[in-house]
With several copies, the nearest count.
Chain A
Amino acid sequence: MSARVVHCAVGPDVIDPVDVLSRVGSDEDGAALLFVGVVRNHADGRPVSGMRYDAYAEMARKELASIAHEAAQRLGTDRVAVEHRTGELSIGDVSVAIAVSSPHRAESFDAARYVIEEIKKRLPVWKKEHYDDGSDGWVEGTVPPGTGRRVPAMPDAEVEG
């Protein structure tokens, strides 16, 4: 199937989830799914007043496009639209919106989940939480796979000598 996707963006513009959803869908599709990530008012039990998203913007755009393309392969359609926001966000602001559609529901659930999980693993984005007491801190993140080692991992557990 196509590796194109209908829409992919990283940047400071406000995200309208309804607009993202409106980019997917087709007469062939019986299922559409929209995931919305929102800044919430707590983190690990600590009250949060806002969040700053930093990104390695040029790379994040490429990486998000790769993730969306991979999701399209799983989905079996090119109907994937995703936006990730950067900058200062308040409680309730949308940080990410992912919309997909497909003939049957299983592929939509799988692909939407894939996009958000890969974003968390690989997208070069960082967030700084602003706490109610005026302090702030970087959110503990995830080391992306396929980097940070001196040698590549062995493809097989055993190698014949």
Chain B
Amino acid sequence: MTLSVNTLFFASYRDLVGASTLEVELSEGATVGDLVDELRRRGAPFDALPEEPAVAVNQTYALLDEPLGPGDEVAFIPPVAGG
């Protein structure tokens, strides 16, 4: 069994990855941290993402051990600079 999540990249992470969205298949029970590890294992350019990035799941900041569900929206959030 797998689950599919919709991954978003913003600002410098979008520049790095070269895409703003990416659909990723994960094993059932995967956490945000597993998603990060999966992407980094794919090599360049994903291995340049930080090991412990800030992330939001369904538009709320989340820790990396948060479990994911099918269709979750996971955003990689570079250090923010509003105002």
A–B touching in complex (CB under 8 Å): yes
**A contact residues vs B (CB 8 Å cutoff):** 37, 53-56, 58-60, 62, 84, 95-96, 105, 116, 119-128, 138-152
Q: Chain B residues near A128 (CB, 8 Å)? A: 11
Q: Once bound together, how far apart are the Cα atoms of A119 and B10, in whole Å? A: 17
- Whether A95 contacts B79 in the complex (CB less than 8 A), given A56-B8, A147-B62, A149-B63, comes out as no
A120–B83 CB distance below 8 A = yes
B63–A119 CB distance below 8 A = no
A127–B81 CB distance below 8 A = yes
User: Which of these, A96, A105, A123, contacts B80 with CB under 8 Å?
Assistant: A123
Q: Once bound together, how far apart are the Cα atoms of A146 and B63, in whole Å? A: 7
Chain B contact patch, size range:
20 to 34
Identify 10 new A-B residue pairs, CB closer than 8 A, beyond the known A59-B75, A138-B15, A147-B56: A60-B82, A84-B82, A123-B83, A139-B81, A140-B81, A146-B63, A147-B61, A147-B62, A147-B77, A148-B54
Nearest CB to that of B64 among chain A residues? A150
Chain A: interface secondary structure?
Answer: mixed
Q: Chain A residues near B28 (CB, 8 Å)? A: none
- How far in angstroms is the closest Cβ of chain B from A71? 14
A96–B11 CB distance below 8 A = no
Q: Chain A residues near B56 (CB, 8 Å)? A: 56, 59, 124, 147
User: Which of these, A58, A84, A95, A124, contacts B77 with CB under 8 Å?
Assistant: A124
- Whether A138 contacts B78 in the complex (CB less than 8 A), given A62-B59, A152-B63, comes out as yes
Q: Is B55 an interface residue (CB 8 A)?
A: yes
